């Protein structure tokens, strides 16, 4: 999720402070080959722009920023084909549920450990899950020591259920 001041970032675990992170370009590059330029993508956690929105647009994709709308409460814009975002990790269960409720393809950048969990497991089993597993940890803080691995948790987007990035 985009932050207005990366210097104010505090990594303190599962809370709002760790939810405010820019999505590094290196996390987006592996997803590009699996996206369709004829579709409209929605970064539901961005303000006016974000690394996700800017990167996709620079690469010829149509991507809409949420402009401060609350994804968990507000309607999404008409014409959106795919939800694609790095959601606040403290709200990941709500974001996953909302994506399934919308019945649209989605790609959520989440910690690999998000594959576990009784509630999430039931959702994944019921609605399906595709994983694009990144081959290295992504540095969200710029400090050079990422603490956890991430993957793109997708539904109705990837050609296979499990893809490992080479």
Which domains does the chain possess?
6-164 (3.40.50.150)
The SS3 call for residue 123 is helix
Give the pLDDT confidence score for residue 4 in this predicted structure: 33
Report pLDDT for 12.
32
Decide which of 37 and 8 is more confident: 37
Instruction: Check: CB of residue 105 under 8 Å from CB of residue 18.
Output: no
The tokens for 134 are: 């990144």
Interatomic CA distance for residues 122 and 86, integer angstroms? 22
99-155 pLDDT tens trace = 999 999 999 999 999 999 999 999 999 999 999 999 888 888 778 878 889 999 999
Residue 2 reports pLDDT greater than 80 = no
What pLDDT, on a 0 to 100 scale, did the predictor assign at position 22?
73
Q: What is the pLDDT of residue 20?
A: 55
Of the candidates 58, 87, 64, 88, the one whose C-alpha atom is nearest the C-alpha of residue 76 is 64
- The two structure tokens encoding residue 7: 């210097």
Alpha-carbon span 131 to 34, nearest angstrom: 12
* pLDDT tens-digit readout, 21-64: 678 899 999 999 999 999 999 999 987 768 999 999 999 999 99
pTM given for the model: 0.86
92, pLDDT greater than 70: yes
pLDDT at 8 over 50: no
> What pLDDT is stored for residue 47 in this prediction?
79
Residue 11 pLDDT > 60, yes or no?
no
Sheet holding 82-85, edge to edge: 62-65, 40-43, 82-85, 106-111, 150-155, 130-133, 162-164
């Amino acid at each position: 999720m985009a932050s207005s001041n990366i210097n104010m970032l505090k990594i303190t675990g599962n809370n709002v402070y760790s939810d405010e992170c820019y999505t590094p370009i290196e996390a987006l590059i592996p997803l590009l080959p699996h996206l369709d330029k004829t579709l409209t993508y929605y970064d539901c956690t961005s303000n006016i722009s974000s690394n996700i929105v800017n990167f996709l647009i620079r690469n010829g994709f149509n991507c809409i920023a949420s402009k401060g709308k609350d994804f968990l409460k507000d309607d999404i814009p008409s014409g959106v084909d795919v939800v694609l975002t790095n959601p606040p990790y403290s709200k990941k269960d709500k974001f996953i549920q909302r994506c399934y409720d919308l019945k649209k393809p989605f790609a959520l950048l989440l910690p690999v450990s998000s594959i576990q969990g009784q509630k999430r497991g039931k959702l994944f089993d019921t609605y399906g899950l595709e994983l694009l597993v990144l081959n290295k940890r992504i540095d969200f803080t710029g400090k050079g020591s990422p603490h956890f691995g991430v993957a793109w948790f997708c539904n109705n987007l990837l050609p296979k259920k499990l893809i490992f990035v080479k």
